[in-house]
Structure 1
Amino acid sequence: MRKPITDLIHHPYSPPARFAAPQPGIYKASTVFFADVAAMRARDWKTKAGYTYGLHGTPTTFTLEERLATLEGGSECLLVPSGLASIALVSFAFLKTGDEVLIPDNAYGPNKALATGELANFGITHRLYDALDPADLAAKLSERTKLVWVEAPGSVTMEFPDLPALVALCRARGVVSALDNTWGAGLAFAPFDLDGTGQGVDISVQALTKYPSGGGDVLMGSVLTRDERLHRALKLTHMRMGFGIGVGDVETVLRSLPSIALRYAAHDRSARELARWLQGRAEIAQVLHPALEGSPGHVNWLRLCGSRDLAAGLFSVVFDASYASEQVDRFCDSLSLFRLGYSWGGPISLVVPYDIGLMRDASVAAWPHKGTLVRFSIGLEDVDDLRADLEQALEAL
């Protein structure tokens, strides 16, 4: 007769099937059981036809991948531990010693840091190009170029590029194009159909940390494509790098995803209202927001996103050059509702001052402003309260 502990571990009870509820079931697993040896040997971890090991997917992670693919218009999706990990996965999947990657000069800083660090250590070179000048990209494409990153807009300086033109150049040269689509989130525009003819980027990555999560409490990234060949290369690298994510975080994103469109639109409305208000302030030399006329690349935003009229909740301002950086720091410190913190897309508004001189390569595209730049991520607070907070902090200048 078996002991109770054995019966406890090998208990025969299984709950009845066909349980339905608003949220999908949560499956936590490293080990996955097989019915017999034949089933174990027949199972292929590279497809969603079955399960082999928790690292290669569970019903919970497959569900989130499929929903994200629907959101962005892709067919294949992989989950990784962070937005930066999604960039790393793409770079490691398609670059080898002797290759070159081209990166926008206004791209997410850690993407450039990866290129100057690990990629350089592996004998992979990189060059920066002017995101607003397709001719600059065309001139820098070479036989060594195997990957081109595009980003819309630049994550700090907010220039919006001519994405269809940049991607068309890559397509004509047979170079893989990868988009950091964290700002667009699959809502502002369709990354795999930029021109209405089904032509778009080869790969779209997102930091699910931002809008898909929406709570400022999850680190996760995604990598999507419509190309089965590219997906297979990504999947193999994903396996070899051992990228895994916590199922509790997957559950959080699954719960937040149904409200992403409502939250995105709310962030957008408040951001535009505050950006327009700041345009009228004497302390501000320029407001950088793709949806506002006069912002770099506004025409490109209008062409790509105008029909949906969405622009996220992110914008930057350049203070008048008469204000020293110490004064701008005091402005940021004087805010009470805006918290000092990186990231965006959560319920709490954030503010970060930046030294553009440390971020931009003037030899690519000279930064036209002398004043200090401050980036705002607008949360879900009442917009009148946020305006009042900005107004009292401006007095501290």
Structure 2
Amino acid sequence: MAEKPASYLTRAGRDVSTPGASVNPPVVRASTFVFKSVADFQAAAAKPFDGPFYGRVGTPVTQAFEEAVAAIEGGHRAIAAASGVAAITAVFLAFLGQGDHVLIPDSVYDPVRRLCARTLSRMGIEASYYDPAIGGGIEALIRPNTRLIYMESPGSGTFEVQDVPAIVAVAKAHGIRTAIDATWGTPIYFRPMAMGVDASIHAATKYIVGHSDAMLGVVTTTEDSFPAVRAALQDTGACAGSEEANLGLRGLRTLDLRLSRHHDSGLKVAAFLAARPEVARVLHPGLPGAPGHDLWKRDFTGACGLFSFELKPLAQGMTVAAFTDAMTYFKIGFSWGGFESLVLPAHPEKSRAVTTWDGKGPLVRLHIGLEDPDDLIADLARALDGLRFA
């Protein structure tokens, strides 16, 4: 019988085979590791990522976290980074060089768009954007110098679900690398490595850490992709701290349990909103009838608590701030994936390059936390009751 996620999450990345071993790996706070001889030092230097060598390339708890994530994702190895954006940057630098071209979904996380416009462009790397619903049609956009197809599924803010297997098949036919931001689905609800993706990236800051108290990223790779990604992260120096890696490792132990609550509560709140007359549409891939639901049902085994909904056009003088400011449980803030519920107005119309956002009213992004969903629904109902519509 196949082992269930709740079981392997409790043991991944920990070795308790030694009598008297601690349940959790000890947190080693170190920049420097010392050796008894030059020969020992040189042996460690030959394999700096396989054991204690220097703090910037990993400590025992960092390596335990990486081992756990790689096992859960089903990849060759994982690499911890200072943040999700640091992990994304390392992948781009690993796979792209001067004169290369990368394809990016138009629904991408805004910091990725900023990275391309502000840093990669200065390096002579060209980025172009594609409709996230393109699927296998992405083949028409491939150029002789295309070296990477980047994906994010579901997409930030508007939650388009990409046909990852179709895109990967095209990429493999052309010898092009693929990478994906898989943070929304987490390592247990979405398995891009099994679909042939070269690098699966998570902003571990979010559901893996799970408590909004650490910045952490991680990327899992195939065997042939590992050396380049590992070297890129080493060269940027964007390493994860021992404390942050420990919080990520701790978060993995309860990930299955927490996500079950996020999944159930998110769908319950989404269904409530879909039935409200003030709401034009709900963008939650796990909700039957929502955009991307069929692909989500095929490729995912669950949903997290993050989704958006569109309000109908508001009356003159009424703003979406009046809605967000009226709530008690939902706080206004960036990020997501913690125990707390969050609300934030979204503006996809400001960043699209090749697609047009067709919303008529304000778009609001919600993160459904671990509060009782009935309290969250009551909070939303009060805020909706206070709005006036055109």
TM > 0.5: yes
**Where does 1:13-32 land on structure 2 (aligned, <5 Å)?**
19-32=20-33
* Bigger Rg over Cα: 1
Please say which of residues 246-255 and 165-174 is displaced more in the overlay. Answer: 246-255
- Aligned residue in 2 for 1:204: 200
Residue 78 of structure 1 is matched in structure 2 by 79
2:361 alignment counterpart: 371
Equivalence map 1:283-362=2 (5 Å)? 283-305=278-300, 308=301, 310-323=302-315, 326-361=318-353
For 2:373, give the aligned amino acid.
V
* Aligned mates of 1:42, 1:201 — CA distance in 2: 33
How far the C-alpha of 1:385 sits from its partner, in A, is: 0.6
Q: CA RMSD in A?
A: 1.5
Counterparts of 1:134-153 in structure 2, within 5 Å, are 134-153=135-154
Partner of 2:383: helix, strand, or coil?
helix
| Residue aligning to 1:265 | 260
Aligned residue pairs total 370
How far residue 355 of structure 1 moved from its aligned partner, in angstroms, is 2.0
Aligned sequence identity (%): 40
**Paired AA for residue 262 in structure 2:** H
Aligned residues of 1:279 and 1:286 also touching (Cα < 8 A) = yes
Amino acid at match of 1:333: D
Structure 2 match to 1:177: 178
SS of the aligned residue for 1:394 comes to: helix
Amino acid at match of 2:277: A
How far did residue 51 of structure 1 move?
2.2
| Equivalent pair of 2:49/2:57 in contact (CA under 8 Å) | no
For residues 256 and 323 of structure 1, what CA distance do their matches in structure 2 show?
A: 44
The TM-score, its normalising length taken from structure 2, stands at 0.91
Quick one: which amino acid aligns to residue 71 of structure 2? T
Q: 1:352 to 1:324 in 2, by over 3 A?
A: farther
Gaps of 5+ in 2: 1-17
The aligned residue for residue 65 of structure 1 is 66
The alpha-carbon deviation at position 370 of structure 1 amounts to 1.5
Give the equivalent residue in structure 2 for 1:13: none
Query: Cα deviations across residues 294-327 of structure 1 (Å, max 9, x unaligned)?
Result: 322111111112xx3x011111001112456942
121-130 or 239-248, which moves further after superposition? Answer: 239-248
The C-alpha deviation readout for 1:203-257, integer Å capped at 9, x for no partner, is: 0010000011000111010011122x31111121122211222211122122221
Measured in 2, the distance between the counterparts of 1:155 and 1:164 equals 20
Q: Alpha-carbon deviations, 1:321-370, whole Å to 9, x = none?
A: 24569422100010110000111110110000012221223xx2222221
For residues 115-126 of structure 1, the aligned pairs below 5 Å read 115-126=116-127
Counterpart position of 1:253 = 248
Structure 2 CA distance for aligned equivalents of residues 273 and 123 of structure 1: 47
Q: Deviations over 1:157-200 (max 9, x none)?
A: 01111111111111111111001010111111211113xxxxx2
Offset at residue 47 of structure 1 (A): 5.0
Q: Indicate the SS of the match to 1:147.
A: strand
TM-score after normalising by structure 1: 0.90
Mapped to 2, the partners of 1:161 and 1:296 lie a distance apart of 11
User: 2: distance between equivalents of 1:123 and 1:239?
Assistant: 22
SS of structure 2 residue aligned to 1:91: helix
CA distance in structure 1 between the partners assigned to 2:361 and 2:91 by the alignment: 35
Matching residue's letter, 2:124: G
Unaligned runs of 5+ residues in structure 1 are: 1-16, 195-199
Aligned-partner Cα distance in 1 for 2:317–2:37: 67
Sort the Cα spacing of 1:325 and 1:287 in 2 relative to 1 into closer, same or farther, 3 A.
farther
Q: For residue 297 of structure 2, what is the amino acid of its counterpart? A: L
2:146 and 2:176 in contact (8 A); partners too: yes
